[in-house]
Structure 1
Amino acid sequence: MTIANHVGIHASQIVDVYEQIHSMETLTINAQTMAVFDRFLGLLSNEHGSEFAEQVLAEAKIKAIKPQIQHLFSLASSMYERHWAERLVNSDAPEQVLREEYPYFKHYQRATGLEINAINSLSAEPVKRVLMVGSGALPLTSMALHNAGLQVDNLDIQQDDLLLGKQVCGALSADNQMDFIHNDICDQADLAQYDVIWLAALVGDAQLKDKIIAHLYEQMRPGAQLVVRTAFNLRTLLYPSVDEAGLAPFQLKLKIQTYADNFHSILIAHKPV
């Protein structure tokens, strides 16, 4: 079978599973829907090489549904986070539920640990205060940053998710000193106080990401770092990606692309002094 045939078959499989999800009467979090989503995510694995991924993404039938896939994934991700957030808040043993039952706990721990090690290696001064943009209803990155000894502020444009996220953090760490800010990041002005700002992958579409990065550059202090969670290859079907050029005028310091575990890709940049 030729590479073109493999590409066509793979693209058709993506379309088929997307249509299966899209045709569901209601999108709910249960074993049946999660099995379908797991299959869908498997088709978009980081393990596919760049050449193969580029050809799949170039297929007309994939281009036609890319915006709808991103919208669906954003909706499903929000529902999934709220589902687990409510489970943690209502549990008598939230730490145990998180560690033993939440499927992506180790993923968050490893990914955030990788990011923390990277920013500390790249920073000339100790990192102390950070902002998580798009902290959401399940702010596990914020908790990992807090547990690493950092002073964490959380910002989200969705007030209900922000307040639920605050409850989650309270359940997991009752004495945490994190702040929770309900605002649009493009309207947030006091950003010079942060050593590092994290930008979640699902924050904004492609055009809005450009606006956000421009605003961050204007408001952040020189020398501060920006951590952007993004995607490459077939994972760009899930959420709008940011490449090196999209970070300008920030100066790119590190680019991490993994080919295992479906990690998000990571760009770390800083505002030149």
Structure 2
Amino acid sequence: MACQNNLVVKQIIDLYDQISKLKSLKPSKNVDTLFGQLVSTCLPTDTNIDVTNMCEEVKDMRANLIKLCGEAEGYLEQHFSTILGSLQEDQNPLDHLHIFPYYSNYLKLGKLEFDLLSQHSSHVPTKIAFVGSGPMPLTSIVLAKFHLPNTTFHNFDIDSHANTLASNLVSRDPDLSKRMIFHTTDVLNATEGLDQYDVVFLAALVGMDKESKVKAIEHLEKHMAPGAVLMLRSAHALRAFLYPIVDSSDLKGFQLLTIYHPTDDVVNSVVIARKLGGPTTPGVNGTRGCMFMPCNCSKIHAIMNNRGKKNMIEEFSAIE
């Protein structure tokens, strides 16, 4: 059983000890350095360490570390969303998203999720819901701007201030200001309307522990339309010290289609599932292009075409 005697785990524990003693997790030189070291330590995927099979002390540390990472990520997004929203009135904040440290990761992740979605859907989604969009809804922005130019995105967040910041980001854009809608609500209180979406994204930061993550998934399963697609973020190998893991057993009422584990600097794994009860659309293995329509994503394709061949993807056949 892997525990504190593993060198990498020791490094993560040491970083956790330093991070947990910080007075604030808001962006600063010290905060940025420590979390940068943590991410670098957790990126390698060529390891036999199973975070679910560790001693209770390390499991408890991991649970606390995931919450600290989520809090720090929220502060980071809030910080840069505020900066971008404060630009002069004649400037479009969306033209300056590159100042966000992880913007290139979101470009890659958005392209990856679009590719996976295109393999398991026969039509262009007209409405997409993103649950837990936060103050900087980069997934919605990237998908709307580069991949789905005619789709409306409904962004749900429990924090009204986060939605205000997010709305300010797109308010000056003539296109996205019309296609990005923001709802301030706890998704667990939303019982009507979720069946209107072709695709529902559940953010990694919604449900930072197993119990709350499963509770959110169960609620979505209850209210999503049969046949609708659920996209989730998970984590693999050491990256599971940063984000919660979504297991197939967590997806009751859904047909699990694909789990994709990147091995580059995109930290999150991607899980795609379909709510049972609707028509099934077989995945098209090996497809990497835009099945829905031509899209404004040539630069993103160039980035993703350099993706290593060692990424791990699990395909699940349709349930008969």
Does structure 1 retain, via aligned residues, the 8 Å contact 2:260–2:270? Answer: yes
- What is the distance in 1 between the residues matched to 2:167 and 2:173? 10
Counterpart for residue 129 of structure 1:
127
After the TM superposition, which of the residue ranges 28-37 and 170-179 deviates more from structure 2?
Answer: 170-179
After the TM superposition, which of the residue ranges 191-200 and 67-76 deviates more from structure 2?
Answer: 67-76
Structure 1 unaligned residues grouped into runs of 5+: none
Matched, 1:245 2:243: no
Aligned-partner SS, 1:39:
helix
Matched, 1:179 2:181: yes
Q: Deviations over 1:166-214 (max 9, x none)?
A: 1122245564332111111122121111000000001013112212111
Q: CA deviation at 1:97?
A: 3.0
**Mapping of 1:1-273 within 5 angstroms?**
8-45=6-43, 47-51=44-48, 53-54=49-50, 58-59=54-55, 61-92=57-88, 93=91, 94-99=93-98, 101-147=99-145, 148-149=148-149, 150-172=151-173, 175-188=177-190, 189-204=192-207, 205-272=209-276, 273=278
- What is the distance in 2 between the residues matched to 1:96 and 1:129? 24
Does structure 1 retain, via aligned residues, the 8 Å contact 2:234–2:268? Answer: yes
- What is the distance in 2 between the residues matched to 1:56 and 1:245? 14
- What is the distance in 2 between the residues matched to 1:213 and 1:206? 11
- What is the distance in 1 between the residues matched to 2:235 and 2:47? 12
TM-score (normalizing by structure 2): 0.77
- What is the distance in 2 between the residues matched to 1:257 and 1:19? 28
Quickly say closer, same or farther: Cα 1:160–1:225, change in 2 above 3 A: same
Q: CA deviation at 1:152?
A: 0.4
Q: CA deviation at 1:69?
A: 0.7
- What is the distance in 2 between the residues matched to 1:264 and 1:133? 16
- What is the distance in 2 between the residues matched to 1:89 and 1:240? 30
Does structure 2 retain, via aligned residues, the 8 Å contact 1:11–1:61? Answer: no
Q: CA deviation at 1:89?
A: 0.3
Q: CA deviation at 1:61?
A: 4.3
Aligned-residue CA RMSD (Å): 2.2
After the TM superposition, which of the residue ranges 223-232 and 112-121 deviates more from structure 2?
Answer: 112-121
Aligned residues: 268
Higher helix share: 1
Q: CA deviation at 1:5?
A: 10
State the one-letter code of the partner of 1:180.
F
